[in-house]
Amino acid sequence: MFINIHTHNPRHAGEWSIRNIYRNFDHAATGSPLSMGLHPWNIDPGTWKAGLDQLKKYSTAPNVLAIGEAGLDKLCKTDWALQVDAFAAQLSWVHETRKPLIIHCVRAYDDILKMLKAYNIKTACIFHGFNRNVSIAKQIIGHGHYLSFGSALQLNHVRESLRAVPLNRIFLETDDAETPIAVVYQLAAETLGMSVDDVISQIRQNTTSVFGINIA
């Protein structure tokens, strides 16, 4: 079974996935594994606080395995101060619920690492869709966080990052890409010089340790 910790799509055959939703949190009562958060792209000054209330109401359900994706994005149109406010509010909620956090980060690694420290976040923080170089990878791991890799593993510098981090700190995902999760596992296996089965069993262990669940 391929574990896909971050997708925006319904589950495919042969895959166990955590589906991400960023609005209509009341639709979450399906019982299937989810993550939910206010994405920096969609933060609206007039409605985000109501969205936060909904998030708090529905994210305590046991099938909501993580908060997020939430974070900061220096390339998106949303006002920076507003992004910071919404991320800060969600960090307080993570602190309270003690759920893992899935992070969206674009060119804001230092800002996010500082905020995670300031809000004393002790639960697992997963920087998803990681596509940066070894030095940023090591910086994040050095703070005790996790990286999730997807189709960017086609790029050499991202492969180097995967090779540079401990195996117990990695996850794999499709995000909203068309690339099937099996292809992402194949890329990871080739990069690491491991069999796909060994990658599957490593990610299964990581999933158990971070999300507290056993996937057969």
List interacting residues with Zn ion (CB under 5 A): 175
In this structure, how many other beta carbons lie within 10 angstroms of the beta carbon of residue 90?
A: 23
Token look-up 């639960």 returns 123
Q: Compare residues 131 and 192 and give the one whose CB is closer to Zn ion.
A: 131
Q: What's the closest the beta carbon of residue 102 comes to Zn ion, in angstroms?
A: 8
Q: What's the closest the beta carbon of residue 107 comes to Zn ion, in angstroms?
A: 16
Q: Compare residues 72 and 160 and give the one whose CB is closer to Zn ion.
A: 72
Q: Compare residues 71 and 203 and give the one whose CB is closer to Zn ion.
A: 71
Q: Compare residues 41 and 119 and give the one whose CB is closer to Zn ion.
A: 41
Find all residues with CB under 8 Å of 88, minimum gap 6, and list them. 115, 119
Q: Cβ-closest residue to Zn ion?
A: 175
Burial class of residue 79 in the structure, from the number of CB atoms within 10 Å of its CB (0-12 exposed, 13-18 middle, 19+ buried): exposed
Q: What's the closest the beta carbon of residue 99 comes to Zn ion, in angstroms?
A: 17
Q: Nearest CA to 47 among 38, 56, 35?
A: 38
Token look-up 């690339």 returns 179
Helix H or strand E segment including 21: strand 15-21
What is the C-alpha separation between 95 and 14, in angstroms, rounded?
34
Q: What's the closest the beta carbon of residue 29 comes to Zn ion, in angstroms?
A: 21
Q: What's the closest the beta carbon of residue 129 comes to Zn ion, in angstroms?
A: 6
Q: Compare residues 73 and 175 and give the one whose CB is closer to Zn ion.
A: 175
